[in-house]
Amino acid sequence: SQQGEEDPQALSIQEGENATMNCSYKTSINNLQWYRQNSGRGLVHLILIRSNEREKHSGRLRVTLDTSKKSSSLLITASRAADTASYFCATGNAGNNRKLIWGLGTSLAVNP
Amino acid sequence: DTAVSQTPKYLVTQMGNDKSIKCEQNLGHDTMYWYKQDSKKFLKIMFSYNNKELIINETVPNRFSPKSPDKAHLNLHINSLELGDSAVYFCASSLSGTMAEQYFGPGTRLTVT
């Protein structure tokens, strides 16, 4: 079953603006990962945050994790048209070491 | 160098036919996956192999049969194709465990007419 839920489902912004996407999950996790999928392509791993971490940065990406609220956010700063893609969160469950649980994705459109 | 490759990229076939999709990874990973992504971009795990052993077998019709001849290859054979099988199928690989990032292939777009 899919437990990750991203919101918003779709987001449209102007170049240069920041984009924030959220992910909520239901069970305990040992890590949460964010992936990007460009149209017609496979998913690309962006960042992994462990359950004992609260924030992680990678370039223009900032990920936060709040295990008490069972939620994570992905912030893309100074967005570019090339950031247009779908973004998925996936969780690794502490009790299930064999598969990631995927969210439904947020479709981000960055307008030039 | 292609990390995870799939063939074919596009597959158009008629209902009732049998088809195969092939996947290869050159990353030295020991775990490989098949995912199905529908038109709404919902990503569903189908199968996973670790060192050629089937470790994940989700609720998938038995018309779908994966086969892993070695750690670097994972193929998917589909019998008696149905309209509902139309989707994009992704192969992925990783090191063992859910702490590892997964590397995805480019996908195979299957259209059943």
Residue B1 confidence (pLDDT): 64
Residue B30 confidence (pLDDT): 93
Which of A44-61 are b and which e, b meaning 16 or more Cβ less than 10 Å from the residue's Cβ? ebbbbbeeeeeebeeeeb
Position B20: which residue type?
S
Residue B46 confidence (pLDDT): 94
Q: B37's torsion region: left (phi>0), alpha (psi -120 to 50) or beta?
A: beta
CA–CA gap between residue A2 and residue B26 (Å, rounded): 29
Cβ of B87 under 8 Å from any chain A Cβ? Answer: no
**Closest-CA distance of chain B to residue A95, Å:** 11
Cβ of B76 under 8 Å from any chain A Cβ? Answer: no
* Mode of pairing for the β-strands spanning B10-13 and B108-112: parallel
Residue B63 confidence (pLDDT): 96
In 3D, which of B92, B108, B98 has the Cα closest to residue B47? B92
The mean pLDDT value for B55-76 works out to: 92
Backbone angles phi, psi at A82, to 5 degrees: -70, -10
Spell out the residues 6+ positions from residue B102 whose beta carbon is closer than 8 angstroms to its own. A35, A43, A45, A100, B33, B92, B93, B94
% of chain B exceeding 70 in pLDDT = 98
CA–CA gap between residue A90 and residue B48 (Å, rounded): 16
Structure tokens at B16: 């009732």
CA–CA gap between residue A32 and residue B82 (Å, rounded): 35
Interchain pair B98, A31: CB under 8 A: yes
Residues B14-45 have pLDDT tens digits of 999 999 999 999 999 999 999 999 998 899 99
Positions of chain A with pLDDT lower than 70, given as ranges: 1-4, 94-97
Residue A1 confidence (pLDDT): 35
Q: In which band, very low, low, confident or very high, does the pLDDT at B109 lie, cut at 50, 70 and 90?
A: very high
CB B110 within 8 A of CB B17: no
Interchain pair B103, A45: CB under 8 A: yes
Residue B97 confidence (pLDDT): 74
Touching A: B residues 25-64, CB under 8 Å: 40-45, 48, 55-56
**Closest-CA distance of chain B to residue A56, Å:** 15
Residue A94 confidence (pLDDT): 64
In 3D, which of A103, A111, A97 has the Cα closest to residue A34? A103
Residues of A in contact with B30 (CB under 8 A): none
Interchain pair A105, B41: CB under 8 A: yes
